[in-house]
Amino acid sequence: MKRLTANNLTSFINQLPKNQLYNYINPRTKTVLSIELVELPQGPIKIKRFDPSKGETIDKANEISISSEMIWRYANAFQEGLPVNVDRVLGASYNTRSALESLLAHTPQFYFTYPGRIERIGGKEKIKGGHKHLMWLPNKPHQLGTALEEKTEMVISEVPSTDIIYDAVTLPDKNFTSEELDINIQRRHAQIQVALYKIGKQLGFRTWVASNDKGIIYNNKRLGESDGVIGSLKDEQLIMAHKEAIKAALLIDCIWFKNGRLMPAVIEIEHSTGVTSGLTRMKHFKDKFPPFPTRYVIVASDDERAKVVREANKNQFRDLNTKYFSYSAVEELYSLCNRRKLKGITEEFLDCFMEPVVEK
């Protein structure tokens, strides 16, 4: 079955007249949208939005951007004839998600729809009125520039459609002190670390795992002994000549390497230890390594996003140009790798799941 790409969505929106104002799908929303610029092939898309009922005008409205990363993530969610909820796909990470949804609804192949939803309370199920979704119907095009509803008898579950099941992990033998994190936090950290290793392996990367985490037991052996995990950075071609950088990297949670020439990402997992420690480790590594293109990434829970943004924008960390890889995005990519066995994709695919958070 054909799948959509960011190129498709960007092309669809580029066909919309630029001298027209577009309404949001929700009729109670008084704000309107205008398309200022569409950068082909994959975005970004520049728009303005303003509320005429408040006396606002397009001339005084700020231009805002719908990012390529956001367009890619939304495109990946569509399958022909199935409803997609923009909030479930993008979460709270993108404040232009409803604008993207509304513009697509004005293109010929997309309809908005309200599938029923199953609500489970106390072991009993009820079918209630649904939330707004978008549906891709390429064989039923409507007029360009209008938004139409598609009636549906579909019912969806309130439970996320993709269940994440982690293989069992056992923590290294060590004596925990009162100053260390509790066992549940350590296990959650280990689960995410294993997920990053599995993602890297599926994408053809070799993975450095922090030296103090190599003892995690995964699939009945130590993570440090797993296929694709780097045993010693001294043997890694890209970094072997930089002794100070190797020292700085030893306790970094995850570093992906590719083909002996590339370093797709340097990653720190922050579960409840604060964000500053991870940023500091990555900054120390960056300062000890010659300038090299990579992604400096903080992985944290979805409700820690504001903290990541705040800390990453502090002056001492701004040159990292940090990306935020939410737990939900990690789990989405981990599930996709497990189910689809991704091959042949480019590194840029990662950017669909990692949000840039440093203000320009």
What mean pLDDT comes out for the span 265-271? 92
Range in 129-133, 197-201, 331-335, 351-355 the model is least confident about: 129-133
User: Can you give the pLDDT at residue 1?
Assistant: 43
Decide if 70 contacts 97 (C-beta within 8 A): yes
Burial pattern 178-188, b for ≥16 Cβ within 10 A else e, equals eeeeeeeebbb
Provide the whole-model pTM.
0.57
Query: DSSP secondary structure string, 78-133?
Result: --TT-EE-HHHHHTTS-TTHHHHHHHHHTSTTEEEE--EEEEEETTEEEEEPPPPE
Confidence of residue 159 (pLDDT cuts 50, 70, 90): very low
pLDDT at residue 124 is higher than 70: no
The alpha carbon dihedral of 321, 352, 97, 66 has a sign of positive
What mean pLDDT comes out for the span 289-302? 93
Radius of gyration over every alpha carbon of the chain, rounded to an integer in angstroms: 23
- pLDDT, one tens digit per residue, over 298-331 is 999 877 888 999 999 999 999 999 999 988 888 8
Confidence of residue 185 (pLDDT cuts 50, 70, 90): low
User: Can you give the pLDDT at residue 182?
Assistant: 44
Residues of the chain with pLDDT > 90: what percent?
A: 53
Confidence of residue 179 (pLDDT cuts 50, 70, 90): very low
- pLDDT, one tens digit per residue, over 25-70 is 988 899 999 999 999 999 899 999 999 999 999 999 999 999 888 8
Delimiting residues of CATH 3.40.91 domain(s) in the chain: 169-356
**For 169-356, which CATH class?**
alpha beta
The two counts, helices (H) then strands (E), for the chain are 9, 19
Decide if 323 contacts 355 (C-beta within 8 A): yes
Decide if 274 contacts 310 (C-beta within 8 A): no
Pairing mode, if any, of strands 155-157 and 116-121? Answer: parallel
pLDDT at residue 160 is higher than 50: no
Give the largest CA-CA distance in the chain.
Answer: 67
More confidently predicted of 76 and 128: 76
pLDDT at residue 11 is higher than 90: yes
What average pLDDT does the chain have? 85
User: Can you give the pLDDT at residue 91?
Assistant: 64
User: Can you give the pLDDT at residue 142?
Assistant: 96
